Structure formats: structure tokens, C-alpha cells
């Protein structure tokens, strides 16, 4: 019986892998995830009518440029979590920062607060600016 449980567990873990190179799912909880996506997938997602792009960089960073129509929510703002909670959890969110680390942390916060459609730009604004020319 013990071996049966181990075999089933390994099977379930193996079935949960994703080999898609365009997105890299990152699990936050057992029931919800956010996706790390490349620039092309990010740009395509922004075309959806239910899509919201969020820039989690500081105002100083944003002064150097940003993605058009991005909502500015500074990750380091002490009110950041409460501002996230005020958003509509049914929309599709596309997050970015300078390189992708802060936006991944912001995506985790969103998932923990019940958001289901959250996407993080791998490489952040740096890659977006380079690849969107």
C-alpha cells in the first residue's frame, strides 16, 4: 500500500509539468498560479478587452518610460497590498517591473488575494523595451 501511494504521487507530480517555453507557470498555492511570460505573449495579452497592465516600479524608474496605459502601483509603497486588494479580481492582469522580480512578488500577492488571471513579464521593462522596437 505504501508503494502504491508513492507511485500515484510521482505520477501526479509528473502530470503537473509544463513544457511550454513561452510561459513558465509559477505555483503560489495548490489551486492558483501566475504565469511568467515572454514579451510577445505579454504584448498579445494586452490586446484583450479585459486586460490591465500594472507597472510596479518606483516613480523614479517610471520617469524613464513605461508601457502605454499601465496602472502605476509602486511595489515599495506601504499601501501596495491594500491597493492590490481594491482591484477587480476578475480581470486579466499583466505585471512588470524593471527585470521581473518585483512583479513576480506582486503576482504572488495577487494570487494570495484571490486573483486568478495574473501574468508576470519575464525580464521586465528592460526586455520589453528591447524586444518591442
- For residues 96-114, give the mean pLDDT: 96
Question: How many angstroms from the chain centroid is the CA of residue 63?
Answer: 22
Q: CA 130, CA 31: separation in Å to the nearest integer?
A: 34
Q: Give percent above pLDDT 70 in the chain.
A: 76
**The predicted structure's pLDDT at residue 27:** 42
**The predicted structure's pLDDT at residue 33:** 86
- For residues 98-123, give the mean pLDDT: 96
Q: Is the pLDDT of residue 34 over 70?
A: yes
Q: CA 96, CA 56: separation in Å to the nearest integer?
A: 6
Q: Is the pLDDT of residue 22 over 50?
A: no
- For residues 80-104, give the mean pLDDT: 96
Q: Is the pLDDT of residue 9 over 50?
A: no
Contact call for residues 122 and 99 (beta carbons, < 8 A): no
Amino acid at each position: 500500500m505504501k508503494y502504491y501511494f508513492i507511485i500515484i504521487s510521482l505520477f501526479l507530480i509528473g502530470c503537473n509539468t509544463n513544457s511550454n517555453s513561452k510561459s513558465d507557470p509559477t505555483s503560489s498555492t495548490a489551486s492558483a498560479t501566475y504565469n511568467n511570460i515572454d514579451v510577445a505573449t505579454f504584448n498579445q495579452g494586452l490586446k484583450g478587452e479585459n486586460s490591465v497592465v500594472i507597472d510596479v516600479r518606483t516613480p523614479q524608474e517610471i520617469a524613464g518610460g513605461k508601457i502605454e496605459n499601465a496602472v502605476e502601483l509602486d511595489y515599495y509603497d506601504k499601501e501596495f497590498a491594500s491597493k492590490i486588494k481594491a482591484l477587480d479580481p476578475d480581470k486579466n492582469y499583466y505585471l512588470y517591473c524593471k527585470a521581473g522580480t518585483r512583479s513576480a512578488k506582486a503576482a504572488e500577492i495577487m494570487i494570495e488575494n484571490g486573483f486568478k488571471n495574473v501574468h508576470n513579464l519575464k525580464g521586465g521593462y528592460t526586455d520589453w523595451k528591447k524586444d518591442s522596437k
